[in-house]
Structure 1
Amino acid sequence: MTAFTQSWTDTFSSAYADEPLANLSWFNASPGLELIKRVIDGTLKPGQRLIDLGSGPGVDAVFLSVQGLDVTGVDLSPDAVARAGRWAELAGADVEFIQGDVLDVPLPDSSADVVNDSFVFHNMRDDARSRYADEVHRLLKPGGLFLLNSFSDKMVPGTGPRRITSEDILSTFTADRFECVALYVYRNVPTRTKPDQLHWFGEFRAR
Structure 2
Amino acid sequence: MPVHDRSSFENLYAGQPRWEIGRPQTALLAVADRITGAVLDAGCGTGENALYFAGRGQTVTGIDFLAEPITIAKRKAAERGLTATFLVTDALTLKELPEVFDSAIDSGLFHVFGDEDRRRYVDGLASVLKPGGRLFLLCFSDQEPGAQGPRRVSRREIEDAFSRDWVVESIESSRYEVRPDPHDASFRDGGPRAWFVVAKRV
Q: Deviations over 1:141-185 (max 9, x none)?
A: 0111111110101112142211111111111111x3101111111
Matched, 1:199 2:181: no
1:5 Cα offset (Å): 5.3
Given that 2:43 and 2:109 are in contact with CA atoms closer than 8 Å, whether structure 1 keeps it comes out as yes
1:15 Cα offset (Å): 2.7
Gap runs ≥5 in structure 2: none
1:190 Cα offset (Å): 4.2
Q: Deviations over 1:100-146 (max 9, x none)?
A: 0101034125x100111121011111211111111000000011111
**Which aligned segments of 4 or more residues in structure 1 are displaced greater than 6 angstroms?**
none
Provide the aligned length of Structure 1 versus Structure 2.
194
Give the distance between the partners of 2:167 and 2:93, measured in 1 at CA: 23
Give the distance between the partners of 1:35 and 1:58, measured in 2 at CA: 13
Q: Counterparts in 2 of 1:36-185, with a 5 A limit? A: 36-39=29-32, 42-45=33-36, 48-105=37-94, 106-108=96-98, 111-174=100-163, 176-185=164-173
TM-score (norm 2): 0.89
1:9 is matched with 6
Give me the CA root mean square deviation. 1.7
What is the aligned counterpart of 1:189 among 161, 177, 198? 177
1:30 is matched with 23
Determine helix, strand or coil for the equivalent of 2:51.
helix
Given that 2:2 and 2:113 are in contact with CA atoms closer than 8 Å, whether structure 1 keeps it comes out as yes
Q: 1:118 to 1:170 in 2, by over 3 A?
A: same
TM-score (norm 1): 0.87
Gap runs ≥5 in structure 1: none
Give the distance between the partners of 2:80 and 2:27, measured in 1 at CA: 21
1:50 Cα offset (Å): 0.5
Given that 2:64 and 2:90 are in contact with CA atoms closer than 8 Å, whether structure 1 keeps it comes out as yes
